[in-house]
A and B are shown apart, each in its own frame.
Chain A
Amino acid sequence: MGILSYFRSKKQTSATVAKERLQVLVAYERNQRNQPDYLPQMQQEILAVISRYVDIDVDDVQVNLDENCSILELNVTLPEHAKD
């Protein structure tokens, strides 16, 4: 059985694929669940303001609130050259 399971573990089964996909998804959705409802809208508006000055994409702005809603963390990845 030991040798068998050694060979088996090398091959990724569909069940391990399912588990990995679920782990990522569930972690993401749990994180979203704790966020207040206004967060996506706020992210949109922050994005709108910044994009007036620099050329950025939705994915370049990350907004995170900690669990107690006491610290707002805003990460903006700016492009190398500012908008002309």
Chain B
Amino acid sequence: MAEIIVVTSGKGGVGKTTSSAAIGTGLALRGHKTVLVDFDVGLRNLDLIMGCERRVVFDLVNVINNEATLNQALIRDKRTEGLYILPASQTRDKDALSHEGVERVLNELSEMFDYIVCDSPAGIEKGAQLALYFADTAIVVTNPEVSSVRDSDRILGVLQSKSRKAENGEHVKEHLLLTRYNPARVQAGEMLSVEDVQEILAIPLLGVVPESEAVLKASNQGQPVVLDSESDAGQAYMDAIGRFLGEEREHRFLEVQRKGLFSRVFGRKG
């Protein structure tokens, strides 16, 4: 039986797909057989971030409608062993997903994998609700910014009332993943700090990913950012995955990186 993880946020553009790609790849790198499922029907982008956009033949909606088998639709990642992608449909809309269909596909995937990572669409409409309904665990991606924090709180409310776990009187395990964190702006009092966001949302912190040039570079190339092991964002995601797997990892990248004398004089990038 696989653990079903939903990567969700309410608000769009906070880094759900980037985080899904990073977390899915990270779990596979750590030796767990993982599938990434794109729930954003009509606006799929996980394939692009994962660099397999030209290999999409069948998608989630085809499998739900029995137009293709799961094995036909699953794309095997060429870089990371044990990682598969199930793309969303680009031509249909959210109504193409049915509750029963999604349940059937997830049950089938559950037999084959250790982790199912569901990349939720933005909003709290049907697509987002279906993406989180079957989840055992939620990773709530939040930016240190007012509208993102508010929407995250809203999605936490949905998780606590409209998920399968909630309906069975259980709790979806919640994790906060703070992305696009800029320690310099936090220090200047221009950005909510990790403590501020934690105090408001009151859920355990999985990780803090700094705002990083590496993220855009990674998506440009269709490579999940964790494969850039030199980058701060890649390392922050791998730390978060370590914590997710139960390891103690100190939070890094929360403070402004002090430049050494050498790099200050020669203006070398830290």
B122 surroundings in chain A (CB, below 8 A): none
Q: Are B157 and A18 in contact (CB under 8 A)?
A: no
Q: Are B192 and A15 in contact (CB under 8 A)?
A: yes
The residue on B at minimum CB distance from A23 is B200
Contact with A along B173-190 (1 / 0, CB 8 A): 000000000000010111
Across the A-B interface, the 6 shortest Cβ-Cβ residue pairs: A13-B189, A19-B196, A33-B157, A15-B189, A26-B153, A18-B146
A8 surroundings in chain B (CB, below 8 A): 189
DSSP class of B's interface residues: helix, strand, loop or mixed? helix
Query: In the assembly, what is the distance between CA of A21 and CA of B153, in Å?
Result: 14
DSSP class of A's interface residues: helix, strand, loop or mixed? helix
Residue from the set A11, A13, A15, A29 with the largest chain B CB neighbour count within 10 Å? A15
A16 within 8 A of B: yes
Q: Are A22 and B191 in contact (CB under 8 A)?
A: no
**CB<8 Å pairs between A and B, sample of 13:** A11-B189, A13-B189, A13-B190, A14-B190, A15-B186, A15-B189, A15-B190, A15-B193, A18-B196, A19-B192, A22-B146, A22-B192, A25-B150
Query: In the assembly, what is the distance between CA of A21 and CA of B192, in Å?
Result: 12
B150 surroundings in chain A (CB, below 8 A): 22, 25-26, 29
Give A6-61 interface residues, CB cut-off 8 Å to B. Answer: 8, 11, 13-16, 18-19, 21-23, 25-26, 29-30, 33
B157 CB contact (under 8 Å) in A11, A19, A25, A30:
A30
Return B188 CB to nearest CB of chain A, in Å.
8
Residue from the set A14, A18, A33 with the largest chain B CB neighbour count within 10 Å? A18
User: Contacts A29-B154, A30-B153, A30-B157: A22 and B200 contacting too (C-beta < 8 A)?
Assistant: yes
Q: Are B146 and A14 in contact (CB under 8 A)?
A: no
User: Contacts A29-B154, A30-B157: A16 and B189 contacting too (C-beta < 8 A)?
Assistant: yes
Query: In the assembly, what is the distance between CA of A18 and CA of B196, in Å?
Result: 10
Contact with A along B148-184 (1 / 0, CB 8 A): 0110011001000100000000000000000000000
Give B49-95 interface residues, CB cut-off 8 Å to A. Answer: none
Residue from the set A16, A22, A25 with the largest chain B CB neighbour count within 10 Å? A22
Query: In the assembly, what is the distance between CA of A25 and CA of B99, in Å?
Result: 33
B200 CB contact (under 8 Å) in A11, A13, A15, A26:
A26
Q: Are B153 and A18 in contact (CB under 8 A)?
A: no
The residue on A at minimum CB distance from B153 is A26
Query: In the assembly, what is the distance between CA of A13 and CA of B189, in Å?
Result: 5
Query: In the assembly, what is the distance between CA of A33 and CA of B153, in Å?
Result: 11
Contact with A along B227-251 (1 / 0, CB 8 A): 0000000000000000000000000
B145 surroundings in chain A (CB, below 8 A): 18
Return A65 CB to nearest CB of chain B, in Å.
16
Query: In the assembly, what is the distance between CA of A29 and CA of B200, in Å?
Result: 12
